[in-house]
C-alpha cells in the first residue's frame, strides 16, 4: 500500500496548456508582427501571461479558434488592415481634406501612427471602421454636405482630437491587459507627465513601485531621439479635462493598489518590507465628485475596440 502511494505522489503534474511565442503565433496566423500586435491591442487575439508574468503568449486553443472562423485567414487580416488619410478618404469616397476634418473632430478615431522621414505624424485608421462609418445613414450629411456651423467653429478654433482619441484607445488596451490594481495604476500613469504623478503620489517608494508598471510609449527611434521624444509627447495627456479624469482615476486606483499590496519599502536592515505610509487619506476622500462621469467615459474607452472576432 505504501509503495503504491509513493508511486502516485511521484507522478508528474498535468501539463499546462500548450502556448507559443507571439512571433510564432503571428506566422501561424499569416500576420505580420505589427498586424498581430494590433489584433491583440483590439482584443481580436487573446493572450495569456508568460512564465515571468511580464510578457504574453498565445494558447494553442486560441490559434485553433481563430483558424476555425469563417473566412480565415482573409477575414482576420482584413479586420486589422490600416490605412492613412489618402487611402482612407478613397475608401469613404470623400476628399482627403474632408477626411482630415472628420478625424480632427474625433469622428474617425486613429488606431496607430508612425513618423515619416520628416518626423511628421501620420495617423492610421482601421479600414473596417471607416467602411462602417461611411455606410451609416446618420453620417451621410457629414460626408456629402457642408459641415454644420458648430463643427466648423471647432475646426477654426484648432480642434484636433486625434492624439487624445489615440491615447484613449491605447489606455483601453493597457487596462484590458492589466491583472491587478498596480498594473492598472501604471496604465493610467503612462499618460501623465512626471510632475502630475508626483503631485498625486507624494511617497517616493510608491512612485518607484508605480514606475515599474508605467508603460512606455510605442517605440519610434532610439531612446532620446527626436522621434522618440515626439512619441512621448503624443503619449502624454495635454487637454485639461483629459488630465483631470486621468488624475482622478489614478488617485482612486492607487487606493485600491495600496489595499491590494502596499508598495515595498526598505527596513532598517535593508530588507524590502511592504508597508503603507501612515496617515494616508482614505480613498473616498480622494475621489472628486466628477469620478462617476469620468468612469463612464473610461468604460466607453474600454468597450471601444474590444469586440471579439
Q: How far apart are CA 23 and CA 122, in angstroms?
A: 26
How many residues does the structure list for the chain? 309
Query: Is 83 in a helix, a strand, or coil?
Result: strand
pLDDT in tens, 118-142: 889 999 999 999 999 999 999 999 9
pLDDT at 181: 96
pLDDT in tens, 64-84: 999 999 999 999 999 999 999
Q: Which residues contact 272 (CB under 8 A, 6 or more apart)?
A: 264, 265, 266
Q: What are phi and psi of 46, to 5 degrees?
A: -90, 135
pLDDT at 231 over 60: yes
Picking from 111, 107, 105, the residue whose alpha carbon sits closest to that of residue 123 is: 111
Rounded to two decimals, the pTM is 0.81
pLDDT at 240 over 60: yes
Q: How far apart are CA 128 and CA 182, in angstroms?
A: 34
Is residue 165 within 8 Å of 125, Cβ to Cβ? no
For residue 187, the number of C-alpha atoms closer than 13 Å in the C-beta half-sphere is 23
What secondary structure letter does DSSP report for 272? E
Distance separating the N- and C-terminal Cα atoms of the chain: 53
Q: How far apart are CA 88 and CA 167, in angstroms?
A: 20
Mean pLDDT of 260-283: 63
pLDDT at 152: 96
pLDDT at 159: 96
Averaged confidence pLDDT in the chain: 85
Candidate from 16-30, 241-255, 293-307 with smallest mean pLDDT = 293-307
pLDDT at 224: 83
pLDDT in tens, 130-183: 999 999 999 999 999 999 999 999 999 999 999 999 999 999 999 998 989 999
192 pLDDT tier (thresholds 50, 70, 90): very high
Query: Is 166 in a helix, a strand, or coil?
Result: helix
Q: What are phi and psi of 133, to 5 degrees?
A: -65, -45
Amino acid at each position: 500500500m505504501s509503495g503504491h502511494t509513493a508511486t502516485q505522489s511521484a507522478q508528474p503534474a498535468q501539463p499546462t496548456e500548450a502556448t507559443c511565442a507571439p512571433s510564432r503565433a503571428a506566422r501561424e496566423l499569416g500576420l505580420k508582427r505589427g498586424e498581430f500586435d494590433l489584433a491583440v491591442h483590439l482584443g481580436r487575439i487573446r493572450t495569456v501571461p508568460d512564465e515571468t508574468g511580464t510578457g504574453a503568449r498565445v494558447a494553442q486553443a486560441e490559434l485553433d479558434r481563430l483558424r476555425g472562423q469563417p473566412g480565415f485567414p482573409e477575414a482576420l487580416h482584413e479586420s486589422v488592415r490600416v490605412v492613412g488619410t489618402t487611402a482612407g478618404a478613397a475608401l469613404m469616397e470623400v476628399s482627403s481634406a474632408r477626411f482630415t476634418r472628420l478625424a480632427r473632430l474625433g469622428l474617425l478615431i486613429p488606431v496607430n501612427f508612425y513618423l515619416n522621414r520628416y518626423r511628421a505624424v501620420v495617423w492610421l485608421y482601421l479600414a473596417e471602421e471607416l467602411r462602417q462609418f461611411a455606410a451609416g445613414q446618420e453620417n451621410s450629411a457629414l460626408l456629402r454636405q457642408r459641415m454644420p456651423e458648430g463643427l466648423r467653429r471647432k475646426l477654426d478654433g484648432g480642434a484636433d482630437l486625434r492624439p487624445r482619441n489615440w491615447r484613449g484607445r491605447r489606455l483601453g488596451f493597457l487596462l484590458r491587459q492589466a491583472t491587478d490594481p498596480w498594473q492598472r495604476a501604471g496604465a493610467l500613469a503612462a499618460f501623465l507627465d512626471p510632475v502630475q504623478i508626483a503631485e498625486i503620489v507624494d511617497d517616493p517608494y510608491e512612485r518607484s513601485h508605480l514606475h515599474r508598471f508605467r508603460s512606455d510609449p510605442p517605440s519610434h527611434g532610439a531612446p532620446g531621439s527626436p522621434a522618440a521624444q515626439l512619441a512621448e509627447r503624443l503619449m502624454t495627456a495635454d487637454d485639461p479635462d483629459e488630465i483631470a479624469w486621468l488624475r482622478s482615476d489614478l488617485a482612486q486606483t492607487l487606493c485600491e493598489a495600496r489595499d491590494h499590496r502596499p508598495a515595498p519599502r526598505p527596513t532598517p536592515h535593508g530588507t524590502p518590507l511592504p508597508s503603507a505610509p501612515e496617515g494616508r487619506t482614505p480613498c473616498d476622500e480622494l475621489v472628486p465628485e466628477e469620478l462617476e462621469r469620468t468612469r463612464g467615459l473610461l468604460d466607453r474607452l474600454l468597450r471601444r475596440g474590444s469586440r471579439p472576432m
